Amino acid sequence: MAGQIRAAVTFTNNLDGMVANMLLGAVKGQNLAGERLLALSAAEAPLDSGGGGTLIASGTVVPAAALGDETLVTYDTPYAARWHEDGELVDNLGRHYLGNSNFQNGRKSHYLSDPALQNAEELRKIVGTEAKRG
């Protein structure tokens, strides 16, 4: 036979590594989405009396360390939950409070849950983008 050519082709893949990188990227995206939610919620959180930002300054993100962990966005003041929910209340002295406060400068109750719901698509895209980069 005249001029035989032979070639051996070996195909290797790293699918396990690719999947692992995507999952790590998703965790990174989840944490970035938490940071974005913190910024969005800080723009709506009520200011303390005198215009102070104690509530806003208490906002933090507790990042997920691994796949399956939650990323937490929290506000940590004695009144954070009360101002967030701002519903009807009867205190221990029997005084009735209707809730629905009119916070200053367009700030409002549900300052964390509303931005999460209203910006859900943006937050999902952040996670998806980082997973693809993984």
pLDDT digits (tens, 9 = 90+) for 2-23: 678 777 776 667 777 788 889 8
More confident residue, 33 or 86: 33
Q: What is the 3-state secondary structure (H, E, C) of 2-45?
A: CCCCCCCCCCCCCHHHHHHHHHHHHHHHHHHHHHHHHHHHHCCC
Tell me if 107 sits within 8 A of 46, measured CB to CB: yes
- Measured between alpha carbons, how far is 73 from 93 in angstroms, rounded to an integer? 33
Model confidence pLDDT, tens digit, residues 22-65: 989 999 999 999 999 999 999 999 987 766 789 999 999 999 99
Which residues have C-beta within 8 Å of that of residue 8, sequence separation ≥ 6? none
Report d(CA 23, CA 43) in Å as an integer. 31
